[in-house]
């Protein structure tokens, strides 16, 4: 089995074609994380002198400083340096699911060309941190996967049309469940499908550290001084938010930035952390990764769906073995806002979601 990794690379060019060193961008990201040019250089395997040369070259190209140095206090980025770092964070956060999907597709094509006979799991899923961990663990255990990230609607269509073995979904727990579920009923109602639990997770408001705008509820998003960043139209997270707004009698049109959407939870968090918005809506994990505060508003169930007839196959049994292993459940529990206590539990679709029986 051959793994393919695709990572985004970007730079900044002058009109004459002179480009900023991509190594400098990596260095600034490490300075932001380490608080020290010396430690950043060590993390990248650079000499301190080489690191300084990169900084000076970049400052000469911009005609502006990138670092502040204070004896005994380490290194801090200037506003320009911060903008470059957050641009890098946003690029990686926005593109990672798409690049992971493409890498998985290419690896599967290579496997077919090499006549690899190892079992292949075809997975179409809404992106999330638990599903990332599951795919990584399965790969470590030698199970090849052809992974496609999309929204819950495309995952529902894929399992309905037989284009995948398992589909990854998330639905709110509680009164919003049936409202959101209705969007997928046309693909799921009447099908012989089984639900495989992975985790529960928390969705809510991501706000700057210390919550300087004092955003504590959805109604606060209507204030004129609050800038919001949403998820893209059609995503399950945006459907949840729209349902919560309707339940609270809050018109979406009263929220500045509501129509501006990012394609991942991490991209929303990076957008807020970079100062481009005051608040976003998404899961807790990336909020904590980007040192944001988090206001929980809803809990969700993230699960897999498969045709019941496939449940006894070796591939699906391997998936269940991983989900039920205590080490994997602990790995899920380490993700902020996630709980993998019921990982690997199975239920018939109509038993898990009785409302679908009424829709068939």
- Residue 341 scores a pLDDT above 80: yes
CA dist., res. 191 & res. 160, Å (int): 8
**Which tokens go with 304?**
């897999």
The pLDDT, as a whole number, for residue 16 is 83
Tokens 């909020």 sit on residue: 287
pTM of the model: 0.87
Which range of 71-75, 233-237, 344-348 scores highest in mean pLDDT? It is: 344-348
Which range of 106-115, 134-143, 204-213 scores highest in mean pLDDT? It is: 204-213
Which residues, including other chains, have CB under 8 Å from residue 247's CB and lie 6 or more apart? 175, 176
Tokens 């292949």 sit on residue: 120
Q: Give 136-179 as a 3 state SS string.
A: HHHHHCCCEEEEEEECHHHHHHHHHCCCCCEEEEEEECCCCHHH
Strands 166-172 and 120-126, bridge-based pairing: parallel
Residue 1 pLDDT level (bands cut at 50, 70, 90): low
CA dist., res. 185 & res. 19, Å (int): 51
How many CB atoms sit inside 10 A of residue 232's CB? 15
Half-sphere exposure in the Cβ direction for 176 (13 Å, CA): 24
**Which tokens go with 109?**
């094509």
CA dist., res. 178 & res. 156, Å (int): 15
Strand partners, 144: 120
Burial class (CB in 10 A: 0-12, 13-18, 19+), 127: buried
- State pLDDT tens for residues 7-64: 888 988 888 878 889 999 999 999 998 889 999 999 999 999 999 999 999 999 999 9
Residue 168 pLDDT level (bands cut at 50, 70, 90): very high
Cα 179-184-188 angle, rounded to 5 deg: 125
Mean pLDDT value across the chain: 92
**Which tokens go with 189?**
């109602």
Which of the two residues, 164 and 119, has the higher pLDDT score? 164
Distance between start and end Cα atoms, the chain: 41
CA dist., res. 118 & res. 142, Å (int): 8
CA 61 remoteness from chain centre: 34
Q: H or E element: which one contains 339?
A: strand 338-339
CA dist., res. 247 & res. 218, Å (int): 11
DSSP states along 35-71 = S-HHHHHHHHT--HHHHHHHHHHHHHHHTS--EEEET
Strand partners, 121: 145
- Residue 359 scores a pLDDT above 90: no
Assess contact for 78 and 248: CB atoms under 8 A.
no
Kindly list the distances between the CA atom of residue 11 and the CA atoms of 29, 54, 58, 98, 237, in Å, as whole numbers in the listed order: 13, 14, 11, 20, 32
Residue count (the chain): 360
For residue 205, report the phi and psi dihedrals to the nearest 5 degrees: -95, 130
- Residue 132 scores a pLDDT above 50: yes
Which residues, including other chains, have CB under 8 Å from residue 179's CB and lie 6 or more apart? 243
CA dist., res. 67 & res. 88, Å (int): 17
- Residue 358 scores a pLDDT above 60: no
- State pLDDT tens for residues 278-325: 999 999 999 999 999 999 999 999 999 999 999 999 999 999 999 999
- Local structure of 282: helix, strand or coil: strand
Assess contact for 184 and 150: CB atoms under 8 A.
no
- Residue 360 scores a pLDDT above 50: no
CA dist., res. 266 & res. 271, Å (int): 9
């Amino acid at each position: 089995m051959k793994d393919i990794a695709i990572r985004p690379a970007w730079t900044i060019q002058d009109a004459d074609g002179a480009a900023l060193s991509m190594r400098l961008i990596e260095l600034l990201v490490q300075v932001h994380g380490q608080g020290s040019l010396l430690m950043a250089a060590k993390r990248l395997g650079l000499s301190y002198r080489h690191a300084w040369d990169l900084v000076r070259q970049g400052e000469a190209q911009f005609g502006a400083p990138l670092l502040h140095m204070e004896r005994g206090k380490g290194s801090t980025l200037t506003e320009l340096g911060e903008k470059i770092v957050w641009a890098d964070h946003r690029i990686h956060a926005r593109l990672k699911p798409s690049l992971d999907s493409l890498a998985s597709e290419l690896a599967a094509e290579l496997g077919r060309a090499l006549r690899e006979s190892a079992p292949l799991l075809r997975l179409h899923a809404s992106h999330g941190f638990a599903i990332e961990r599951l795919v990584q663990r399965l790969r470590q255990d030698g199970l090849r996967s052809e992974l496609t990230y999309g929204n819950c609607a495309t995952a529902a269509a894929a399992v309905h049309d037989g284009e995948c073995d398992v589909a990854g979904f998330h639905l709110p727990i509680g009164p919003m469940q049936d409202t959101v579920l209705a969007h997928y009923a046309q693909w799921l109602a009447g099908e012989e499908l089984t639900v495989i639990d992975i985790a529960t997770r928390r969705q809510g408001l991501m706000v700057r550290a210390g919550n300087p705008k004092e955003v504590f509820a959805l109604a606060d998003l209507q204030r004129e001084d609050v800038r919001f960043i949403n998820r893209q139209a059609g995503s399950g997270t945006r459907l949840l938010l729209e349902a919560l707004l309707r339940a609270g009698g809050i018109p979406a049109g009263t929220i500045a930035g509501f129509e501006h959407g990012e394609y991942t939870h991490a991209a929303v968090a990076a957008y807020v952390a970079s100062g481009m918005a005051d608040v976003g809506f998404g899961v807790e994990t990336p909020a904590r990764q980007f040192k944001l505060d988090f206001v929980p508003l809803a809990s969700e169930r993230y699960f897999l769906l498969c045709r019941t007839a496939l449940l006894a196959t070796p591939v699906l049994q391997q998936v269940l073995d991983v989900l039920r292993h205590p080490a994997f459940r602990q790995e899920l529990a380490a993700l902020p806002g996630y709980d993998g206590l019921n990982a690997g539990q199975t239920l018939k679709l109509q038993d898990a979601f009785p409302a679908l029986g009424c829709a068939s």
